[in-house]
């Protein structure tokens, strides 16, 4: 990574299927990075900007068959474009680090693999909207489908549209994420989500430290030399 890239800030995304713990781990990672003195923006998809949050409601609520796969993909990319323009890009240009709960790999996995639109369809849409823009590091949290759905089912709430899709969809989704990681090993790190939140966080932090130039953890106040 060049010095200019470091000054620009770093973009980290967390991905995975339902119940993998992405939201918890994104929060823990953002806190850990702030503890190292970094200025961190924590955000999510779908959502992250005012307009994108409005689109999020259309995507994560209602019946599983509410949208056809292509409409779903277009909605995700409409939200993503607004999110990138208004939140992610300005933060990176300002030298801040961005930790995002989901990004474009979710559309490839959910709509490309899960809904079987295909890699090429999503790739073309991604090129049109993002023009090659990608995270510096993507951490994919991997969990067997039955475990993930059991965890997700215990959360409750109205945002359960994807959770209610059939098991075959979720199996394709999991394989999609693993295939994304196999195709882009330089950017992606796969971390098992089967451990405790603390164990998973430690593995994520190790993956980040291996790939990106992290400053040392800030020393507690009063711990300097006398």
Q: Is 192 labelled a binding residue?
A: no
Percent of the chain with pLDDT over 70: 92
Q: Is 15 labelled a binding residue?
A: no
**pLDDT for the residue numbered 2:** 35
**pLDDT for the residue numbered 218:** 59
**pLDDT for the residue numbered 153:** 82
Task: For the chain, give every domain's residue range.
Answer: 3-211
* Token pair in block for residue 170: 């979720």
Q: Which ranges constitute the DSSP H helices of 43-193? A: 50-60, 69-83, 89-93, 104-107, 119-130, 145-153, 167-183
Q: Is 18 labelled a binding residue?
A: yes
- pLDDT, tens digit, for every residue of 143-196? 999 999 999 887 767 899 999 999 999 999 999 999 999 999 999 999 999 999
Q: Is 23 labelled a binding residue?
A: yes
Taking the C-alpha atoms of residue 194 and residue 87, their distance in angstroms, rounded to an integer, is 32
pTM (2 decimals)?
Answer: 0.90
- The pLDDT of 199-221, averaged and rounded, is 85
Q: Is 21 labelled a binding residue?
A: yes
User: Which residues lie closer than 8 Å to 164 by C-beta, 6 or more apart?
Assistant: 64
Q: Domain 3-211, what fold?
A: Rossmann fold (3.40.50)
**42 and 27 Cβ atoms separated by less than 8 Å:** yes
Q: Is 114 labelled a binding residue?
A: no
**pLDDT for the residue numbered 214:** 87
Query: Which residue in 217, 213, 226 sits closest to 136, CA to CA?
Result: 213
Residue 86, pLDDT > 60, answer: yes
């Amino acid at each position: 990574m060049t010095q200019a890239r470091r000054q620009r800030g770093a973009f980290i995304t967390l991905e995975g299927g339902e119940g993998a713990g992405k939201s918890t781990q994104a929060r823990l990672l953002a806190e850990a990075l702030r503890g190292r003195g970094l200025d961190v923006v924590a955000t999510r998809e779908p959502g992250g900007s005012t307009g994108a949050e409005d689109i999020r409601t259309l995507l994560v609520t209602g019946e599983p068959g509410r949208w056809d796969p292509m409409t779903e993909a277009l909605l995700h990319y409409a939200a993503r474009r607004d999110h990138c323009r208004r939140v992610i890009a300005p933060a990176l240009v300002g030298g801040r680090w961005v930790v995002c709960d989901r990004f474009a790999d979710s559309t490839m996995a959910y709509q490309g693999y899960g809904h079987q639109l295909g890699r090429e369809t999503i790739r073309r849409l991604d090129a049109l909207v993002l023009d090659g823009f990608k995270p510096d590091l993507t951490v994919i949290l991997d969990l067997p489908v039955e475990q993930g759905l059991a965890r997700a089912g215990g959360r409750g709430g109205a945002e359960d549209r994807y959770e209610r899709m059939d098991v075959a969809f979720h199996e394709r989704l999991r394989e999609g994420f693993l295939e994304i990681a196999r195709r882009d090993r330089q950017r992606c790190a796969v971390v098992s989500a089967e451990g405790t939140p603390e164990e998973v966080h430690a593995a994520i932090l190790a993956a980040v430290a291996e790939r990106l130039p992290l400053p040392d953890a800030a020393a507690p106040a009063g711990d300097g030399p006398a």
